[in-house]
Amino acid sequence: MTRILGHNYIAGQRSAQGNTLLTSLDATTGEPLPGVFSQATEAEVAAAATAAAAAFPAYRNLPADQRAAFLEAIADELDGLGDDFIATVCRETALPSGRIQGERARTSGQMRLFAKVLRRGDFYGARIDRALPERQPLPRPDLRQYRIGVGPVAVFGASNFPLAFSTAGGDTASALAAGCPVVFKAHSGHMATAEAVADAILRAASRSGMPAGVFNMIYGAGVGEWLVKHPAIQAVGFTGSLKGGNALSRMAAERAQPIPVFAEMSSINPVILLPEALQARGESLARELAASVTLGCGQFCTNPGLIIGVRSAAFSDFIALFTAQMAEQPAQTMLNQGTLASYRQGLVHLHSHPGVTHLAGAAQGDRQAQPQLFQADVSLLLGGDPLLQEEVFGPATLLIEVADLAQLAAAVGALRGQLTATLIGEAAELAGYGWLSELLQEKVGRVLLNGYPTGVEVCDAMVHGGPYPATSDARGTSVGTLAIDRFLRPVCFQNYPDELLPAALQDGNPLGISRLLDGEQSRAVIVR
């Protein structure tokens, strides 16, 4: 990596007007890492938002294949970052190099996937209803609709994914694909990583001939409010805590012009163990679930934080096996001291609750997180106790035993919105639980059968979202190509001459895309 400058990124230039200097820390030792970062001033935040607004008209009107080439150039630059970059990310996050290499591949891969979306053209959502001048009792005008970017997007970096949900992560990729310039707020936990990735994005922008201001980045705590409230910003992408997401949503709603906030926030991702599966493979399920709960020190938004089973000898045996497995899981270093402090606080709440029993887990050390297992009476969930549905971000989970299927249905009905829910069952018994799948669809964005939720594939069909408080808007996803929809809005043209229409709506269909033409999908050329 080149020397860290630590200045904010505004319209392709670097700026350091403020007096507050920040340092990045080694996640394992807590020692300061080389380089200091300049916290953005209110004027710099405004300048970044204004630069994005100035870039918007030119950027959104670029041909889709030119924006696609930009995304592919970013992917190439990310793939070209060397071993010293990987080492820096590892030091800032305590994540292993294999995880970071895999996450980088996912990050560049989703850039290339959105480039593919741009080239196939379905994101335009082109619809054409041709004029019917002879229609009675009233003629129909010529009406044509397509979608454009909403405008500059503020993106907040996530703590737990320093690449895939950060500087060049899914929110940035989908916003840029939609034709929206980005102002990125770097996460304080991995500022050196953010700088290296921002440099890669700017190199790609220069190579691709993008307008200045297509990507901007600011550092600092407390600067997010200035960004969200700036009138140039038209949408927000956020991955983080429920408290943080709710605060941003309030700020956005209180603006003179309210804007949408797409916040991925809090989920306990219930796993439901069906009776025959427990009878057939309780030992392997205990081992696999312990591995899923502690994977990456439990620092995944899809971490299974609630495990439900129906009272039986098999479930009792599973509890004993699972308790033993969790007791054997080693301590791990978390992303940063703030994350560790939050994890410890969540454990304090569980330990002090009279209706919760601690089953496994050693006392917490000074710098590492010890995996923990608890059990609670189902009456707490049915009674609406909020503690059982508060995400404990880390390697901990909670067991609940229900008396019968009626109580299982009631327990699922009491759940708040989730990113995922998982059903573990044998093939012969799953057919009898269609009712449970129906209930879960009302609660979550993704329902899994016989798998574990901690892997999120980046593809067209993926949904990484769900009803509140999993997200602030259940109609979208922050992973997968549907994420582009969050940053697009429809525009209709009435009785426009062909030469003034955007290419996606012109009679000759110069883009060769599929369009809804008079109610039928078609790639046809229109002959007037």
- How is residue 404 written in tokens? 């019968």
DSSP calls for 253-272: HTSSS---EEEE-----EEE
Catalytic residue status for 457: no
pLDDT of residue 59: 98
- The class that CATH gives domain 270-449 is alpha beta
Question: Rounded to an integer, what distance in angstroms lies between the CA atom of residue 443 and that of residue 250?
Answer: 23
Contacts 24+ apart (CB under 8 A), 497-502: 501/144, 502/146
User: pLDDT tens per residue, the chain (528 residues)?
Assistant: 678 999 999 999 999 999 999 999 999 999 999 999 999 999 999 999 999 999 999 999 999 999 999 999 999 999 999 999 999 999 999 999 999 999 999 999 999 999 999 999 999 999 999 999 999 999 999 999 999 999 999 999 999 999 999 999 999 999 999 999 999 999 999 999 999 999 999 999 999 999 999 999 999 999 999 999 999 999 999 999 999 999 999 999 999 999 999 999 999 999 999 999 999 999 999 999 999 999 999 999 999 999 999 999 999 999 999 999 999 999 999 999 899 999 999 999 999 999 999 999 998 877 799 999 999 999 999 999 999 899 999 999 999 999 999 999 999 999 999 999 999 999 999 999 999 999 999 999 999 999 999 889 999 999 999 999 999 999 999 999 999 999 999 999 999 999 999 999 999 999 999 999 999 999 999 987
* Residue whose pair of structure tokens reads 């300048």 in the numeric block: 47
Question: Rounded to an integer, what distance in angstroms lies between the CA atom of residue 465 and that of residue 476?
Answer: 6
Q: Say which of 297, 301, 391, 401 is annotated catalytic.
A: 301
- How is residue 421 written in tokens? 């829910």
Out of 3.40.50.150, 1.10.150.20, 3.40.30.10, 3.40.605.10, select the CATH number for domain 40-265+478-485. 3.40.605.10
Phi, psi of 8 (to 5 degrees): -70, 155
- How is residue 105 written in tokens? 């591949």
Phi-psi region of 277 (alpha: psi -120 to 50; beta: other; left: phi over 0): alpha
pLDDT of residue 1: 60
pLDDT of residue 237: 98
Question: Rounded to an integer, what distance in angstroms lies between the CA atom of residue 281 and that of residue 7?
Answer: 55
Question: Rounded to an integer, what distance in angstroms lies between the CA atom of residue 455 and that of residue 465?
Answer: 14
Phi-psi region of 389 (alpha: psi -120 to 50; beta: other; left: phi over 0): alpha
End-to-end CA distance of the chain: 59
Domain spans of the chain, in order of start:
40-265+478-485, 270-449
Q: What is the largest CA-CA distance in the chain?
A: 80
Identity of the residue numbered 181: P
Catalytic residue status for 264: yes
Q: Provide the Cα torsion 22, 28, 29, 34; round to 10°.
A: -40
- Paired with 148 in beta bridges are 489
Question: Rounded to an integer, what distance in angstroms lies between the CA atom of residue 35 and that of residue 518?
Answer: 60
CB 453 within 8 A of CB 420: yes
Q: Where does 403-507 have alpha helices with state H?
A: 405-414, 427-430, 434-441
Q: Say which of 77, 195, 264, 391 is annotated catalytic.
A: 264
